[in-house]
Amino acid sequence: MRRKISPELKQEILNLPMKEKDKLLIRLIPKAKNLIEQLEFKLLELSETTEERRADVDDELSSLLNHYQGHEYSSKHSVRILRDMSGRINHHVAITKDKYGEAELNLRIVLASLGFTRLEGGMLGRMVDEKYYDYIIKRMIKVFKLIGGLHSDYHLDFSDQLTEFYQLTKDNSAFEAYADLYDLDLQELEYGNIPDAYQKNK
């Protein structure tokens, strides 16, 4: 368990001579998860390589998705696949704070998963697949929030994918049921717009 720095210790560290603080900093940086890469991005790349880094993640996801496409996986297995790919996206966002890329990449893997996930039928099937439905709806709500937080000029970039999600799920009563649990009207996606509740920047 990570210990918090007490106010007293923090003050003593600030009072250290600059040379000693520099040595301490260089020793501690390698121990902090993601910090070296964050510093490389900010100090060496001057935060100007977001799109290049996003493209690298997209290439990684493409390689994985090419492996999964053409096969069918249980909904339980699909959730594991999505979580693995989400971890790569989360790492990219932790380094770059790339909100556009976070929305774009998450939307891509959700849509792809609808193509390789074998969903069961009927009420019993809905119970089997409930974790998948819940995961997808929560992931889409996250995407809506991200898109809604972007300038309106970017909203159109996601229109085709949102319409595609609607087309892929519109006849699935289980998706509708789980969407209702989160007060989400999937019908609002028909024309490629995010639901009104997430339209922050029009």
Q: How many residues does the chain have?
A: 202
Distance CA 147, CA 156 (A): 10
Nearest to 53, CA basis, from 41, 36, 39: 41
Q: What is the pLDDT along the chain (202 residues), one digit of tens a residue?
A: 567 788 888 888 888 888 888 888 888 888 787 889 999 999 999 999 999 999 999 999 999 999 998 899 999 999 999 999 999 999 999 999 999 999 999 999 999 999 999 988 666 567 889 999 999 999 999 999 999 999 999 999 999 999 999 999 988 888 888 899 999 988 999 999 999 888 875 5
Per-residue burial over 180-195, b if 16 or more Cβ lie within 10 Å, else e, is eeeebebebbeebbbb
